[in-house]
Structure 1
Amino acid sequence: MADREDATAGSPVKDPEDWTTGDEPATGAQESYLHTLATEAGEPAPEGLTKAEASRKIDELQEQTGRGR
């Protein structure tokens, strides 16, 4: 996946696979937002994700719920 431009800042956004901290546990903010999105999507909230996995799941659920960018 190529870098994409961040619509708000105009700077490239790295693919989560390229993050140096992508294999660390998801942040509290990611977990909270995932719970919200999963609830809206009628799915169980995922647990035990890394930062990179959480970012990809957030993107997926945003598209599914219409909260996408």
Structure 2
Amino acid sequence: MSDADQTDQQGQADHTGETLGGPRPDPSTTASKDPEDWVTGDEPMTGPQRSYLDTLAREAGEELPADLTKAEASEHIDRLQQQTGRGTDSAS
């Protein structure tokens, strides 16, 4: 069993060394795969994608189909973030 798979006596995963939050990576220097090339891109969008996409679409005044794939949802999220200003670093 790997370190990432270890759990304590209460069944909680050991996330020692992991962090959440922090600065977002600079997209211009971060290697990323085109959603079209994702191995799981044709699977249904995830719950978090659906929730965030719903929020973005409402803010943008758009309606989107609810049966998007992960890759399609990601592309809409990127587009709507630009359109609404969400997800952009406005601290600079």
Fold-level match, TM-score > 0.5? yes
Q: Which residue of 2 aligns with 1:17?
A: 36
1:43 aligns with 2:65: no
Higher RCO (C-alpha 8 Å, min separation 6): 1
Q: Give me the whole-angstrom Cα distance separating, in 2, the residues matched to 1:41 and 1:16.
A: 22
Structure with the higher strand share, 1 or 2: 1
TM-score, L = length of structure 1? 0.80
The letter for the 2-side match of 1:54 is: A
Separation (CA, whole Å) in 2 of partners of 1:53 and 1:15: 11
TM-score, with length taken from structure 2: 0.61
Partners of 1:68 and 1:59 lie apart in 2 by 9
**Structure 1 regions of 5+ residues with no counterpart?**
1-5
Q: What CA deviation, in whole Å up to 9, does each residue of 1:10-33 have, x standing for no partner? A: 541110011000000000000000
Residue 39 of structure 1 contacts residue 45 of structure 1 at CA under 8 Å; is this kept in 2? no
**Bigger radius of gyration, 1 or 2?**
2
Query: How large is the RMSD of aligned CA atoms in angstroms?
Result: 1.7
